[in-house]
Amino acid sequence: MNQRIGFIGLGIMGKPMARNLLKAGYELTVYSRGRQAVELLMTDGAKGASSPQEVGERSDVVITIVTDTPDVQQVILGINGILKGIPAGGTIIDMSTISPSATQAIAEAASEKSVHFLDAPVSGGEGGAIAGTLSIMVGGEEEVFNSCLPIFQAMGKNIVYVGGAGAGQFTKLCNQVAVAVTNLAMSEALIFAAKAGINLTKMHQAISGGAAGSWQLSNLAPRIFQRDFAPGFMVKLQQKDLRLVLQEADRLHVALPATSLVHSLFNALETTGAGNEGTQALVKVLERLADMEVKA
């Protein structure tokens, strides 16, 4: 517990994850582009920093969870980046969802400075971040993963070492394929039921406990019934992840037709200005096609 932890990125996911590290007793230094988020964590007991470099200077392990690949590259490799400050032998853990290829390049750059690097993207949404029950998929050196396991256990429950550098990111993209396509399947089931005029609540109760059951059906369908499209995970972030999936699929020459369809439907949703809504808003595209609304 004497490890000094740095945390960069205090958004929907990062803020509760950082709080859980504080609750676990870690000494925490935080940085975020929004100063208000830093000040909020400081009231919880964290120390604030003015740059990623300063976070690196004050930390043995630095965690990043920011929006996209360029953000991670800037925070780690930039002029005032973590690698300018973190001492040799330190560890950087990137918990963002970014390009696996870029991740491997960052791991190599860290290694040249004698700094360890783990890619450890997460799944479970804001609720999982708050409850400390995230699924965490980790790539990098297994020895380093084992030494950082207590840190991961402060933020998640299902923690799996999946392989070398970049393996965590590839695994997260597999997760996003399954999540997005299941979201579409759920949305189609709801539209079908609504159009048929059957009781949506009863239908939902009947199929949730069987082979059709899913996290999306249990957690997102009730929100759709109440027309609650507040984000646990934003449409625009889901789209960023699906773009990463399709880029890697193109590089690997693999066909992902269902994923491509969901990506296109989310594109249509974004044109309506719904990019900041939760991914359950996907149902709105199907509602337009069916000229009706899913509402309990």
Neighbours of 272 (CB within 10 A): 12
Domain check: are 179 and 252 in the same one? Answer: yes
Task: Quickly tell me which residue has 């949730």 as its tokens.
Answer: 208
Q: Say yes or no to pLDDT of 212 above 80.
A: yes
pLDDT at residue 296, as a whole number: 83
Domain check: are 76 and 160 in the same one? Answer: yes
Strands 156-163 and 122-123, by their bridges, are unpaired
The predicted-structure confidence for 152-210, as pLDDT tens digits, reads as follows 999 999 999 999 999 999 999 999 999 999 999 999 999 999 999 999 999 999 999 99
- Residue 95 to residue 91: CA distance in whole angstroms: 13
C-beta separation of 83 from 113 below 8 A: yes
Q: Is residue 248 part of a domain?
A: yes
Residues contacting residue 293 through CB under 8 Å, at least 6 positions apart = 194, 227, 287
pLDDT at residue 103, as a whole number: 97
The predicted-structure confidence for 141-150, as pLDDT tens digits, reads as follows 999 999 999 9
Q: Is residue 295 part of a domain?
A: no
Instruction: Give the percent of the chain with pLDDT over 90.
Output: 95
Of 164, 185, 204, the one marking the end of a domain is: 164
Task: Quickly tell me which residue has 């690698």 as its tokens.
Answer: 83
Domain check: are 129 and 227 in the same one? Answer: no
Of 109, 129, 164, the one marking the end of a domain is: 164
Q: Is residue 296 part of a domain?
A: no
Q: Say yes or no to pLDDT of 137 above 70.
A: yes
DSSP per-residue letters across 83-146: HHHSPTT-EEEE-S---HHHHHHHHHHHHHTT-EEEE--EESHHHHHHHT-EEEEEES-HHHHH
- Residue 216 to residue 159: CA distance in whole angstroms: 21
3 state DSSP class of 251: helix
Rounded average pLDDT over 62-71: 96
Q: Is residue 235 part of a domain?
A: yes
Question: Looking at the 3D structure of the chain, how many domains does it have?
Answer: 2
Rounded average pLDDT over 259-285: 97
Q: Is residue 283 part of a domain?
A: yes
Domain check: are 253 and 129 in the same one? Answer: no
C-beta separation of 5 from 27 below 8 A: yes
C-beta separation of 137 from 162 below 8 A: yes
3 state DSSP class of 48: strand
pLDDT at residue 1, as a whole number: 56
Domain check: are 96 and 190 in the same one? Answer: no
Instruction: Give the percent of the chain with pLDDT over 70.
Output: 100
- Residue 43 to residue 7: CA distance in whole angstroms: 15
Question: Could you tell me the end-to-end alpha-carbon distance of the chain, in angstroms, rounded to an integer?
Answer: 49
CA distances from 226 to 6, 89, 222, 287, 296 (A): 39, 51, 7, 15, 7
Domain check: are 15 and 124 in the same one? Answer: yes
Domain check: are 17 and 133 in the same one? Answer: yes
Greatest Cα-to-Cα distance within the chain, rounded to the nearest angstrom: 64
Range of the domain at 16: 4-164
Token readout for 197 is 């005029």
Domain check: are 118 and 33 in the same one? Answer: yes
Active site residue 240: no
Domain check: are 85 and 146 in the same one? Answer: yes
Q: Which of 15, 172, 195, 284 is catalytic?
A: 172
Domain check: are 247 and 216 in the same one? Answer: yes
Of 119, 145, 164, the one marking the end of a domain is: 164
pLDDT at residue 50, as a whole number: 95
Find the length of the chain.
296
Rounded average pLDDT over 63-82: 96
- For residues 53, 59, 60 and 65, what is the CA-based torsion angle, rounded to 10 degrees? -70
Domain check: are 105 and 251 in the same one? Answer: no
Neighbours of 17 (CB within 10 A): 24
Token readout for 26 is 């870690």
Domain check: are 175 and 156 in the same one? Answer: no
Q: Is residue 256 part of a domain?
A: yes
Which CATH number fits the domain that encloses residue 109? 3.40.50.720
The mean pLDDT value of the chain amounts to 96
Rounded average pLDDT over 94-118: 97
3 state DSSP class of 47: strand
Which CATH number fits the domain that encloses residue 270? 1.10.1040.10
- Residue 252 to residue 259: CA distance in whole angstroms: 15
Neighbours of 210 (CB within 10 A): 7
